């Protein structure tokens, strides 16, 4: 297949390995910033074949992994409410909230739909006008325009029963948080090619100049990743620091103007909590005031009280006794139709009073800041597995813990 097979070519891979070995003279820590890149690195065992001077760290490149518990709990509360149909992509179904996940709510009778496109949720809103249809929209800059296009379609069709429950993240503030951390040891970044395909490379230039660190826009196939590593090492060995595009077949210098235009039209920056990291200033995006009526947080504010205080939210994950996610769930019977509604209402967590801290033993925050590896977690592969996760990185198809577990790194 064109543009794939040639980027998995073994001869090119070996040539790049040789070039990297010949170039590197000093120890360097490089961080990829996309979960798709992490999985490709694990799948093709690239890290094991690199010279020992190069260590790879795995950043917060998975939106499922960084979606805060509070937003998950909001989704669970909505899914438990009669008359509300909550739709989501499949990778959000098993992400743990405070006590439950969406699959558990669905098993108890909540109306939860797993969809492949936000436009399918718009179709459901048209098909069931008597229901409130909420699409759980999360993502980095890569997927945000898709959610907004669905919202525009709903507006054009006059579907007032369609809303978005959003958790939108922007990558540059997360990179800056990592770089400003006193414990930071990252020397260079492989930035996410798909994100840069939307935003372009300009947002990263300020960071390279401020922190004097190279950033290389990188793709997802073995040749792409090794070429990105090679170009990053070349800069480091020369003492250079700039944004370099090593994924030009996909990423234009200024990104996608149409996608950026719809984001600028409908969204504005906001502070955003990143699960396991903390609240980062202007790292999120929310609907502008003129579109607030399509925000599930606004429309259903009476169902859950959003916590405005930040004093009880720590940047660092507390460490303590193991609290496996599945062992904290109360077992609910599955009654028949009308009883089911009562059961769901009674079983719903009191979201305005319940703490929303991640399970105490999860070190995902330290992993995503480049301070730990999944293998450093004593519960990895034992207590914490995809079927019984402690943290979101073991659930998501782009999570680093999931990658390490799946490919036995």
For the residues 243-269, what does the mean pLDDT come to?
Answer: 97
* Bridging pattern class, strands 132-139 and 162-169: parallel
For the residues 331-355, what does the mean pLDDT come to?
Answer: 40
Domains (ranges, CATH) in the chain?
Answer: 1-404 (3.40.50.11740)
pLDDT of 349 > 80? The answer is no
pLDDT of 103 > 50? The answer is yes
Position 4 scores a pLDDT of: 82
pLDDT of 362 > 90? The answer is no
pLDDT category, 359, cuts 50, 70, 90?
low
Q: By the 8 A CB rule, do 164 and 137 touch?
A: yes
Residue 22's CB: how many other CB atoms inside 10 A? 10
3-class SS of residue 84: strand
Range scoring the smallest mean pLDDT among 141-155, 239-253, 257-271, 347-361 = 347-361
The most confident of the ranges 258-267, 341-350, 363-372 is 258-267
pLDDT of 3 > 50? The answer is yes
3-class SS of residue 256: coil
Tokens of 179: 């770089």
Residue in this structure with the two tokens 């004097």, named with its chain if needed: 212
pTM, entire model: 0.84
pLDDT of 306 > 50? The answer is no
Within 8 A by CB and 6+ apart from 160, the residues are 293
The helix (H) or strand (E) run that includes residue 114 is: strand 112-114
Alpha-carbon separation of residue 18 from 13, 15, 171 (angstroms): 9, 5, 32
Q: By the 8 A CB rule, do 281 and 271 touch?
A: yes
Q: What are the helix (H) ranges across 35-131?
A: 35-43, 46-49, 63-66, 69-79, 102-107, 118-127
Tokens of 400: 């680093």
Separation of alpha carbons 275 and 297, rounded Å:
18
Mean pLDDT estimate for the chain: 87
State residue 28 phi and psi, 5-degree precision.
-135, 145
Q: What is the pLDDT of residues 307-329, one digit of tens each?
A: 433 333 433 333 333 333 333 33
Position 94 scores a pLDDT of: 86
3-class SS of residue 379: coil
Burial bucket for residue 41 (CB in 10 Å: 0-12, 13-18, 19+): buried
Q: What is the pLDDT of residues 198-254, one digit of tens each?
A: 999 999 999 999 999 999 999 999 999 999 999 999 999 999 999 999 999 999 999
Going by C-alpha positions, the residue among 92, 179, 24, 96 that lies closest to residue 396 is 92
Alpha-carbon separation of residue 332 from 48, 70, 100, 112 (angstroms): 45, 22, 11, 17
Separation of alpha carbons 8 and 46, rounded Å:
12
* Bridging pattern class, strands 112-114 and 84-88: parallel
């Amino acid at each position: 297949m064109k543009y794939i097979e040639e980027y998995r070519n073994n001869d090119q891979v070996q040539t790049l390995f040789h070039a990297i070995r010949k170039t590197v003279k000093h120890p360097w820590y490089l961080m990829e910033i996309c979960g798709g890149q992490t999985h490709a690195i694990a799948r093709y065992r690239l890290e094991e074949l690199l010279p020992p001077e190069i260590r790879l760290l795995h950043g917060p490149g998975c939106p499922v992994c960084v979606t805060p518990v509070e937003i998950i709990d909001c989704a669970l509360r909505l899914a438990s409410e009669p008359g509300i149909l909550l739709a989501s992509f499949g990778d959000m179904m098993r992400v743990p909230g405070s006590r439950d996940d969406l699959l558990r709510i669905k098993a108890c009778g909540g109306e939860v739909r797993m969809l492949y496109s936000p436009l399918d949720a718009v179709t459901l809103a048209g098909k069931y006008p008597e229901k409130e249809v909420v699409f759980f929209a999360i993502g980095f800059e890569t997927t945000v325009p898709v959610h907004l296009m669905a919202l525009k379609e709903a507006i054009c069709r006059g579907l007032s029963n369609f809303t978005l429950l959003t958790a939108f993240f922007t990558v540059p503030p997360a990179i800056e948080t990592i770089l400003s951390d006193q414990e930071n040891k990252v020397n260079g970044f492989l930035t996410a090619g798909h994100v840069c395909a939307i935003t372009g490379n300009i947002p990263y230039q300020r960071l390279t100049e401020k922190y004097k660190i190279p950033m290389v826009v990188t793709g997802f196939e073995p040749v792409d990743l090794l070429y990105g590593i090679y170009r990053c090492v070349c800069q480091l060995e020369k003492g250079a620091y700039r944004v370099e595009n090593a994924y030009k077949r996909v990423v234009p210098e200024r990104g996608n103007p149409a996608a950026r235009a719809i984001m600028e039209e409908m969204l504005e920056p906001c502070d955003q909590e990143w699960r396991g990291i903390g609240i980062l200033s202007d790292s999120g995006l929310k609907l502008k005031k003129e579109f607030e009526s399509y925000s599930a947080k606004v429309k259903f504010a009476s169902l859950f009280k959003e916590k405005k205080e930040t004093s009880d939210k720590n940047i660092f994950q507390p460490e303590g006794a193991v609290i496996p996610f599945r062992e904290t769930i109360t077992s609910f019977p599955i009654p028949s139709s009308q009883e089911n509604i009562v059961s769901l209402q009674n079983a719903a967590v009191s979201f305005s009073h319940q703490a929303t801290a991640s399970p105490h033993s999860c070190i995902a925050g330290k992993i995503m800041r480049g301070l730990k590896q999944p293998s450093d977690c004593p519960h990895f592969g034992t207590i914490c597995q995809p079927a019984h996760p402690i943290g979101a990185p073991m659930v998501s198809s782009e999570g680093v813990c999931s990658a390490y577990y799946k490919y036995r790194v």
